[in-house]
A and B are shown apart, each in its own frame.
Chain A
């Protein structure tokens, strides 16, 4: 059974600090996705990672993928309040957009 595990599940951090969210998955997958969801809202695509060693950055967020370790990270640099949201990773092990999501990391950035 495919497992996609995120940690931490809850993260409270202060503005200006750095932190990393981890996403481990249990089966081979060449594709990994990060999404953001604000409370009561839909999902917004952040990153699509397609190969081992892929690194993508957008603003204060940087995502990386290690397919050998079956691990992706989402690094937050100098957090700001606007980053408060739930972040999901998802894998697509069958390469058919049958995405399997992690449980989500609920991030709260405090002043």
Chain B
């Protein structure tokens, strides 16, 4: 299994809603990532978990709350989002963080629209 699975694929939410994005991998990877990608822009790193611990937080607003319950799962909890948060949210994983010859395996993303 060389896939990173993200659910849901599409999500529409209001600014007062609470929702969660989910990401799962079964490749034994111990580093997992959340990226945000606006249309026609490059991905921007949000969070990195290494061995289930948050290792990088790129000054992301607190309305985004990551969680890594175990080595295979990564969640992104959303609360009180703004319309400008509408984007494609990509999850990725790698064998280790800071490992030579690493590449990231990306999920297919969740297209989020905030109304």
Contact = CB atoms under 8 A, between A and B. Distances in A.
Q: Do A and B come from one complex?
A: yes
Contacts of B99: 97
Interface string A37-64: 0000111110010100000000000000
Interface residues of B, number: 28
B42 A88 contact: yes
Interface in B55-113: 55-56, 58, 90, 92, 94, 97-109
B31 interface: yes
B13 interface: no
A104 B101 CA distance: 22
Given A98-B48, A99-B45, A102-B42, A43 B101 contact: no
Q: Give the secondary structure class of A's interface.
A: loop
A22 to B, nearest CB: 16
A103 B37 CA distance: 11
Interface in A75-111: 88, 95-104
A33 B101 CA distance: 10
A43 B33 contact: no
B100 A43 contact: no
A98 B59 CA distance: 13
B28 interface: no
A101 B106 CA distance: 14
Nearest to A86: B40
A41 B41 contact: no
Contact of A96 (B40, B56, B58, B101): B56
Interface of B: 31, 33, 40-45, 48, 55-56, 58, 90, 92, 94, 97-109
Interface of A: 33, 41-45, 48, 50, 88, 95-104
